[in-house]
Amino acid sequence: MGVRFENITKVFGPAVVVDHLNLAVENGEFVVLLGPSGCGKTTTLRMLAGLEEVSAGDIYIGAERVNDIPTQHRDIAMVFQSYALYPHMTIAENIAYPLRVRKTGREETRRRVERVAGMLEITGLMARRPRELSGGERQRVALARAIIREPRLYLMDEPLSNLDARLRVQMRGELKRLQHELGTTTVYVTHDQAEAMTLAHRVAVMSAGRLQQFDTPMNIYQRPANRFVAEFVGSPPMNFIEGRTDAGARVFRGSRGVALPLSENQLGRMNGRERVTLGIRPEHLLISRAAREGWQPAHVYVTELMGNETLVFLRLGNEKIIARAEADFRADPETPVWVGFEMERADFFDAESGEALR
């Protein structure tokens, strides 16, 4: 079942929480909603589920307009950000509830409950009540209650946020498989880039209730539509350097004599714009302790050891930038280093509008 938001707006009192949202999700597509806290993701899901009335606009599931169709008739399964488990029921009863209301046979119910429980590693908890579970266990129960059904639509609101890395990877795999097998259209909210990247067919990036970009994960990452997306997606975030283009010298000039060569095509993209912002991701910066041709001098001001890599925070001209380095890279504050820019990977944005220049 496809899903279509047409000019959806939601206001709470004075606050406009979702602002003319237009979004068309293909049938069988897995879409991830990405966006800062409070940007309207949950509200969007809730409107789609019929738990919030839309203030304006239309929502379509498949061909039909569902604005007025009560939740229970929309045939949707949802994982609530706040799990919303039934406190008076055992875990087993919680998970079985959607089947119970559909009068599924006891035998089949048992079978399916066991299957999802196994899938989510909560088999041992069946007889407990929600308040006797750990946070992550509760979250998995909430997830189980959703995926035990085969609805027209899955809505999942940060369903893995309270799980440990190992489980999260595993669950990711399970969800991917499940969605692949059933081909159920899914709208998924997460703050975890790995989830967004690995699960999504397409990612919708929202900010303050407005849709910023709706594209494949790779494009979102590699061809952000504007500076917001570029900065928001990817951690540590992309580095930005304010500056101006010197068309004559074919260089981008940042502060304090920072000068970076520009390709023909890059110059073309700027077509004449003077003030632009250069954006480059930490992994596209190279660091050397010795000066090199065309590399920029900079100073380390702090390093963060991540185990698998080291993040190097640098002062370059007036800008602060972050670079990724090998795990064993070490440098004391104020160490002078030289930074190499993989310029072909650089992105450029209009200094005012923040639009990407392509």
Partner 1 sequence: MRRRQILAAEYERALPYLLVAPTLLVLIALSIYPLIYAVRVSFQTGVGTGARWTLQNFTRLASDSFFLSALAHTLVYAVVALTFEFLLGLGLALLLNREMRGRSLFRATLLVPLMLPPVVVGVVWRLMFNPNFGAINGTLKGFGLNTEALVWTASPKLALASVIAVDVWQWTPFVFLVLLAGLQAIPQEPYEAALIDGSSPWQTFRHITLPLLKPAILIALLLRTMDLLRVFDQIFILTEGGPGFATETISLYIYRAAFRFGNFGYAAAMSFVLLLLTNIISLVYIRLLQRQETA
Partner 2 sequence: MKRETQSDERRVYARAGQARRKAAARVCVYALIMLALLATLAPVYWMVTISLKSEVDQFAVPPRWLQFAPTLAHYRDAFFARSFGQYLITSLIVSVASTACATTLGTLAAYALARFRWPSRVGTRLSLWILSTRMFPPIVTAIPLFLMMRDVRLLNTRASLIIVYTAFNLPFVVWMMRGFFQEIPRDLEEAARVDGDSRMGALRRVVLPLVAPGLAATAIFCLIISWNELLFALILTQTDAAMTLPVGIAGRVTQYEIKWGVMSAAGVVAMMPILLFALSVQRYLVRGLSLGAVK
Binding residues (CB under 6 A) for ligand ATP: these are: 12, 15, 17, 35, 37-43, 81, 132-137, 162
Selection from partner 2, a second copy, partner 1, none that 253 binds (CB < 5 to 8 A by kind) is none
Which range touches a second copy (CB under 8 A), out of 29-37, 59-67, 84-92, 333-341? 29-37
Distance between alpha carbon 197 and the CA centroid of its chain, in Å?
8
Q: Binding residue for a second copy (CB under 8 A) from 2, 28, 136, 340?
A: 136
- Mutual angle of helices 135-147 and 165-182, in 10-degree steps: 0
Closest approach of partner 1 to the CB of residue 86, in Å: 5
User: In 3D, which of 353, 311, 352 has the Cα closest to residue 330?
Assistant: 311
Tokens of 40: 């309207």
CA 136 to chain centre: 20
| C-alpha torsion sign, points 214, 219, 224, 225 | negative
Angle at which helix 91-101 crosses helix 106-119, to 10 degrees, equals 130
Closer Cβ to ligand ATP, 15 or 290, answer by number? 15
Residues that bind partner 1 (CB under 8 A): 49-51, 64, 68-73, 75-78, 80, 82-89, 97-98, 100-102, 129, 131-132, 145, 149
Quick check: 133 binds partner 2 (CB under 8 A)?
Answer: yes
Stretch of 22-30, 115-123, 135-143, 279-287 contacting Mg ion, by CB under 5 A: 135-143
Q: How far is the CB of 133 from Mg ion (least distance, A)?
A: 9
CB of 151 to partner 2, least distance (A): 8
Tokens matching residue 3: 């899903």
Q: At what angle do helices 106-119 and 135-147 cross, to 10 degrees?
A: 130
Which amino acid is present at 36?
P
Burial class from Cβ neighbours inside 10 Å (0-12, 13-18, 19+) for residue 179 reads buried
Q: Is 258 exposed, middle or buried (0-12, 13-18, 19+ CB in 10 A)?
A: buried
Least CB distance from residue 186 to ligand ATP, whole Å?
17
Report the residue number, 61 or 331, with the smaller CB distance to partner 1.
61
261 is a site residue for Mg ion (CB under 5 A): no
Task: Give the three-class secondary structure for 93.
Answer: helix
Whole-number minimum distance, CB 71 to a second copy, in Å? 19
Instruction: Output 184 or 207, the one with its CB closest to a second copy.
Output: 207
Site membership for partner 2, residue 131 (CB under 8 A):
yes
Tell me how far apart the alpha carbons of residues 142 and 139 are, in angstroms, rounded to a whole number.
Answer: 5
* Sites of contact with Mg ion (CB under 5 A): 42, 81, 134-135
* Sites of contact with partner 2 (CB under 8 A): 49, 51, 64, 68-78, 80-88, 97-98, 100-102, 129-133, 135, 138, 145, 149-150, 152
